[in-house]
Structure 1
Amino acid sequence: MHRIVIVGGGAGGLELATRLGNRFGARQTAHIVLVDSHPTHLWKPVLHEVAAGSMDPFTHQLEYAAQAHWHHFEFRLGALIGLNRSAKTITLAAVYDANGAELLPSRELAYDTLVIAIGSVTHFFDVAGAQQYALALDTVAQAQACHQRLLTACMRAQANLAQAAAPPRLQIAIVGGGATGVELSAQLRQTAQILAAYGVSPLDPKQICIAIIEAGPRILPALPERVSKATADLLAKLNIDIMVNEQVASVSERALLTASGKTLATDLTIWAAGIKAPAILSQLDGLATNPRGQLKVRATLQTESDPDIFAFGDCASCSWPEKKTTVPPRAQAAHQQANFLLRALTRRVKGASLPNFHYRDFGSLVSLGHFSAVGNLMGGIMGGNLLIEGLFARFMYTSLYRMHIAALHGFGWMVADTIAHWLRRSTAPKVKLH
């Protein structure tokens, strides 16, 4: 059977493996293998909610092995560390437990078609101290560490409250005014209010100061200016400071320094300033990459170097001719490319020619927690560009995650899952308190 190996179980990779498994694995007309360095999946756009404590990852994460069993594909645990194009094999790193004992040795997997979808990682831009002292949000573990740091700081403030000569305050700095930084700031403000209501934090929510530091002239630089302005106005109402045209020069354990000479004392620094392709991509047996480390792909999503290797999502540089640029690293792009590859790989297995991928921008949405949401709808939905905010925008934003669940499990299961989570949240705190 034709062997399709998909490396990367993110939003696009897992959706593609699930649907290919349903189409080919169930009928045993092709063998589908999914590879990932983690045993569980959580939709990456919700990691800021995990960091703020408003989402419990253990109730939302999905076991790859279970998904593979249900949808007729095979799962292999391990990180991609090598590629042999002539032998058509990839090499997976050894897997170790928490104590450093080897669970699985380094292995090789054969493929007929290889699909690389390993996403992106945080870009620290070589800022001194950033990688050491600032928290990133690439994984569930990092997001949970961020929440624990927040709770620890609140409890430390409670312990020092009696000795404090002045009312204590907690300073959180978020480096980067993109969607992740903006959404995280609002979620943290929401968390501050809830922690105070439950008595976990002795601080008035206004004493938890949140600042966004953006190197450019405005937040949300990738979105239309009116969306940026509307979002900035909403954040101002939440007492979230926005520092624009401020590039971070260095980060220390309790402060950060900007290029203009400003020093901001911090109790918690979170880095959301940008992303880059994983370093392994530039080491894969001659596959061509762009200056940002992304794999160069044709309109068919085949890599320029090898027609048997496809790449999509954040790790791929795909041309967007209508805008004379490349497809942006967004979840909607990965979803569209996964849908395209389902059709394209079906044709490839049958020996037919491949179509070309065309990206359609349906707009962007930014969630501000339970306070609001803002964004723009465009393209195929509206035929133009419409600014939306408030309840309707919040509903649209929530539906994006539910669409992802539906792609993995079907519409009926998604409805049941939505009801189950709603019932669970009705009898649980709004944020994790430990």
Structure 2
Amino acid sequence: MPNRIVIVGGGAGGLELACKLGRKLGPRRVTLIDANLFHVWKPSLHEVAAGTLDIHQEGLSYSMLAHDNGFTFVFGSMTALDRHARQVTVSEACAEDGAVILPERCIVYDDLVLAVGSVSNYFGVPGAAEHTLSLNGPHDAEHFRLRMLKLLTLADLRKTHDPEAGVGIVIIGGGATGVELAAELREASEVQGRYGYPRLDPLRDVRITLLEGAPRILSPLPARVSNTAMRLLADRHIAVHVQCRVTNIEADRVVDAEGQRYPADIVVWAAGIKAPAWLAALDLPLSKGGQLLVNRRLQVEGYPNIMALGDCAACEYADGKWVPPRAQSAHQEADYLYRALLARTRGRPVPDVPYVYRDYGSLVSMGTQTSVGNLMGNLFGASWFVEGLLARCMYVSLHLLHHRAVLGAPRTALLALARYLVKRARPLVKLH
């Protein structure tokens, strides 16, 4: 019986791992489980939310990827784990009317990789779960986009009798997600104003506010990156409030610890993430933050045939330092597990080398024309600041590298060319 590898979660790391293993081992040995039917690279969800990236063109079908890369795709959510029988339970899949399309299933494994990502961490803020949106997945981003279009339409209609009518957007969290979303929304609002919203002034009537609890936005990155991002946001008429601790969120406003109220038609939570709560039911070792506790070989402590990568895994790579929840981390961990699992499946000795996280720097998108960030990180003990078109080209290249990993170089090149041509034949934002 061939060694069976089951990967749960088709995000950046899980999908790349499935594609690489599938091309070597085939569908009988490699299975990917995911609750979605298509994949969108998570760092691009802010573009989907703003409408500058079409989810229906960008989304890659898991069934198509499985066929082309030689793995088996199972549609559904993981609901249980039986470590003794070495099998996971996958939920039934239902249509919109509740009709069962696929029954509950059990998938047997020899090696299991959990790559289930993360969800929003509301830190107990009252009203956060009820009155905010998050960009945890493609459906969240598409829901935000449709709601934004509705609010713009209503505001434009109200302008006939209310000169102050507009749309108030409050983004809580000044990390990469919050900053990128704010910049993308401003750029999109200026384009949307040309398509059917003649009464709205994007800079005045689409009011974007970014709230951050730390002394500066993008606090994990060098101060120069943060300061440049602040300047670019100010140039785009985006209000930024730092050292602002949100204490309550209502249906139409956000309240901070000083009693300041920020009117809002739509509130986005981008202030933190955590591992999915259902991981606690698997009876596996967890960190204080609820992540799966893994060793330097990305194996769950005490269970060498169960591995984890990405946001759901807590891995200490140096004294007191933990692998950060970034796309580059998931990519590196997928590469490491690919080599280890391929050797194990082929009966060869697994390389006795622990996983080591390497920080290659961070890039933050500030719209379709520019980005800002630092390169190389601690690779050579230096940090190089980049801004403008060069940084934007590098940011886009990261997306293309992910596509190359799952589609191959020729198809990635064709896809990039097709996107370039389509953008010149259609509106610059998705309007339906």
TM-score category, normalised to shorter length: over 0.9
Which residue of structure 1 aligns with residue 287 of structure 2? 290
Rounded Cα–Cα distance in structure 1 between residues aligned with 2:66 and 2:383: 39
Q: How many residues align?
A: 428
Which residue of structure 2 aligns with residue 343 of structure 1? 339
Q: CA deviation at 1:409?
A: 1.2
Which residue of the other structure, out of 323, 326, 338, is the alignment partner of 1:327?
323
1:186 equivalent in alignment to 2:186:
no
Which has the larger displacement, 243-252 or 398-407? 243-252
Q: CA deviation at 1:382?
A: 6.3
Gaps of 5+ in 1: none
TM-score by length of 2: 0.96
Matches within 5 A, 1:3-402: 3-25=4-26, 31-164=29-162, 166-200=163-197, 202-207=199-204, 208-284=206-282, 286-321=283-318, 324-349=320-345, 350-354=347-351, 355-379=353-377, 384-402=382-400
Contact residue 278 and residue 315 of structure 1 kept, 8 A: yes
CA deviations on 1:161-190 (whole Å, 9 max, x unpaired) are 1211x3323211001101000000000000
Rounded Cα–Cα distance in structure 2 between residues aligned with 1:120 and 1:103: 27
Contact residue 195 and residue 201 of structure 1 kept, 8 A: no
Which has the larger displacement, 424-433 or 201-210? 201-210
Cα distance change on mapping 1:183 and 1:391 into 2, 3 Å: same
Rounded Cα–Cα distance in structure 1 between residues aligned with 2:422 and 2:257: 47
CA deviations on 1:300-319 (whole Å, 9 max, x unpaired) are 11110311100000000011
Cα distance change on mapping 1:201 and 1:16 into 2, 3 Å: farther
Matches within 5 A, 1:397-412: 397-412=395-410
TM-score by length of 1: 0.96
Q: CA deviation at 1:371?
A: 4.2
Which has the larger displacement, 374-383 or 218-227? 374-383
Rounded Cα–Cα distance in structure 2 between residues aligned with 1:158 and 1:363: 42
CA deviations on 1:191-229 (whole Å, 9 max, x unpaired) are 110011223352111121111011111111221222111
Cα distance change on mapping 1:118 and 1:254 into 2, 3 Å: same
Q: CA deviation at 1:280?
A: 1.4
Contact residue 173 and residue 268 of structure 1 kept, 8 A: yes
Rounded Cα–Cα distance in structure 2 between residues aligned with 1:76 and 1:20: 16
Contact residue 176 and residue 213 of structure 1 kept, 8 A: yes
SS of 1:318's equivalent in the other structure is strand
Regions of 4+ moved over 6 Å: none
Gaps of 5+ in 2: none
**Which residue identity is paired with 1:340?**
Y
SS of 1:236's equivalent in the other structure is helix
SS of 1:319's equivalent in the other structure is strand
RMSD of aligned alpha carbons = 1.4
